[in-house]
Chain A
Amino acid sequence: MEFPENLKYSKEHEWTRVESNRAIIGITDFAQDELGEIVFIDLPAAGTNVEAMETFGTIESVKTVSDLFSSVSGQIVEVNSALEDEPEFINNDPYGDGWIMIVEMSDPNQLDDLLNSSEYQNYIEEEKQGD
């Protein structure tokens, strides 16, 4: 399982890649593996405002429905519409083709609340032991 060093991670299992004032957001390798094969994703339209740590959509595997949480606040400038027809991109390439949305950040300081790669890996180890 991979957790690239150049990404930020949330405890809700989203990753965030920062490009100037924009945050590209997806779900982590761990999250896609836990969910299993993704069969459906419900996303808001571009232009919608999202709030950090609030739900912005849902993702469904064969058996489960899960909420998606934004790692930052701001306005969605683009959603990955390819996922509508090929949600399995999230399983196959969670940090690449499986990206979910791009947010124009209203408060980049929120990035400081996120975890780095090794902190996130420690966090999921703790979660697993809590099972």
Chain B
Amino acid sequence: MYGVHKEAGARFIPFAGWEMPVQFSGIIEEHIAVRSSAGLFDLNHMGEIEVIGDGAEDFLQYIITNDLNAIGDGDAQYTVMCYEDGGTVDDLLVYRINRERYMLCVNAVNTEKDYLWMVKNSKGKVQITDKTADYALLALQGPHSKAALQPSVKGDMDGLKRFGFILEEMNGAEAMISRTGYTGEDGFEIFLPSDKCSALWKELLAAGSEYSIKPVGLGARDTLRLEMGYPLYGNELSQDTDPLEAGLGWVVKMDKGHFMGRDALLSLKEQGTVRRLVGLEMIDRGIARHGHRIFSDEKDVGYITSGTMSPSLKVSIAMGYVSSEMAKEGTVLEVDIRGRLCSARVVKRPFYKPSSSGG
């Protein structure tokens, strides 16, 4: 794909061992295309791990925090995996093909770690395989993504519900098409064999030209997810943060039976978390960035995990961890931006309400 993107004028950054396009025409322009029309993302760096066997369901129920009983064949589910102490191994999507066959889509930086973690903790009749090298992943996102995708697929995209997916043959190989994404807009993700990727990329760009579809890099992927207040592993999530303080309590299902990290998470839940992830909107001029400290009355109360100038809202937004007593909506805090203390207000996430949501 490198050659295809280079031709399109992309700028690259090395990311988790891949050369990934950070931008094509410009981060803001690409961002706005996704919000108003459609954008196409090359997500080849994302990891795919297959879990198959009689024991696949039981094993996954043990290794993830969400409850797979809530989904059926052809459904995807967002979840996290935790360590014994409640720290986060990764956040991921689990695709249930059937009771004995699942596909996991994990963060690029974590693929090997996740794979080794799952193998180390595997039990029952289960086979775990890292399929990252075999699969390519493209994402088509935005209010016009359905119309832009339909000509290239046989299945009825209208009938595909949010978090649903289908398997179909595409250019002689099995592809998985899901109504999922990381932008907040209606959108689709297409897993397909790596050697079919550049042909589909070109086909989708050509088919979507009437919607002014744009290729989108990782730069806009980050601003889009930030406007939605979605966490990113490495920023909002890490081994040292648990899903409860990250606001992901909704994917931790205590009553599903025993699972990895449950005891620690249950006691954290009962005690109440010491800190919480909050959304911040800057009051003073300035952009809070990852690592900046947050103060209240000269007391250090936390740190920024991500921040940007929101291309849709044209206000400076950020997320960060603060002491729980500072997490109330409307609380005014100060962010130390390279030595300058700038006021910011705790606000509700998402920062932005998308016009399309899909399904």
Residues of chain A having any CB pair with chain B under 8 Å: 36-37, 39-40, 42, 58, 60-63, 65, 84
State whether B338 touches A58 (Cβ < 8 A): yes
Residue numbers in B under 8 Å from A61 (CB-CB): 27
Residues of chain A lying within 8 A (CB to CB) of residue B29: 37
**Does the CB pair B223–A62 fall under 8 Å?**
yes
B219 touches A40 (CB 8 A): no
Residue of B22, B27, B285, B287 near A37 (CB, 8 A) is: B27
B289 interface hit (Cβ, 8 Å): yes
Bound-complex Cα distance A60 to B307 (A): 12
Size class of B's contact patch? Answer: 10 to 19
Most buried by B among A39, A58, A60, A61: A39
Compute how far the CA of A36 lies from the CA of B27 in the bound complex, rounded to whole angstroms: 8
Q: Roughly how many angstroms separate A88 CA and B223 CA in the complex, as a whole number?
A: 17
Assess the B28–A37 pair: CB atoms within 8 A.
Answer: yes
A55 CB, nearest partner CB in chain B, Å: 11
Q: C-beta contact mask, B327-352 vs A, less than 8 Å → 1, else 0?
A: 00000000000101000000000000
Q: List 21 A-B contacts (CB under 8 A).
A: A37-B26, A37-B27, A37-B28, A37-B29, A40-B285, A40-B286, A40-B309, A42-B285, A42-B286, A58-B338, A60-B309, A61-B27, A62-B219, A62-B223, A62-B308, A63-B22, A63-B27, A65-B287, A65-B289, A65-B338, A84-B285
Centre residue among A61, A62, A65 by max chain B CB count within 10 A = A62
Could you tell me if B309 and A63 are in contact, using CB atoms closer than 8 angstroms? no
CB contacts (< 8 Å) of B286 on chain A: these are 40, 42
Q: Are A62 and B27 in contact (CB under 8 A)?
A: yes
> Which residues of the partner chain B approach A36 to less than 8 Å between Cβ atoms?
23, 26-27, 219
- Chain B residues 207-228 with CB under 8 Å of chain A are 219, 222-223
Query: Complex formed: what's the CA distance from A37 to B25 in Å?
Result: 10
Q: Is the interface of B mostly helix, strand, loop or mixed?
A: mixed
Report which of A39, A42, A58 forms a contact with B309, defined as CB distance below 8 A: A39
B316, CB-defined interface residue at 8 Å: yes
Residues from chain B with Cβ under 8 Å of A62 in the complex: 27-28, 219, 223, 308-309, 311
Contacting residues of chain B (257-310) with chain A, CB-CB under 8 angstroms: 285-287, 289, 308-309
Q: Chain B residues near A65 (CB, 8 Å)?
A: 287, 289, 338
A12 CA to B285 CA, complexed, in Å: 25
Residues of A within 8 A of B308 (CB): 39, 62
Closest B residue to A58 by CB, please name it: B338
Interface residues of B in 1-57 (CB under 8 A from A): 22-23, 26-29
Query: Which residues of chain A have C-beta atoms less than 8 A from B338's C-beta?
Result: 58, 65
How far apart are the CA atoms of A37 and B32 in the complex, in Å?
A: 13
Contacts of A40 in B (CB 8 A): 285-287, 309, 316
Residues of chain B lying within 8 A (CB to CB) of residue A60? 287, 309
CB distance from B28 to the nearest CB of A (A): 5
What distance in Å separates the Cβ of B216 from its nearest Cβ neighbour in chain A?
Answer: 13
CA distance A60 to B282 in the complex (A): 15
Alpha-carbon gap, A75 to B257, bound state (A): 70
Chain B residue contacts of A39, Cβ below 8 A: 28, 287, 308-309
**B311 neighbours in A (Cβ, 8 Å):** 62
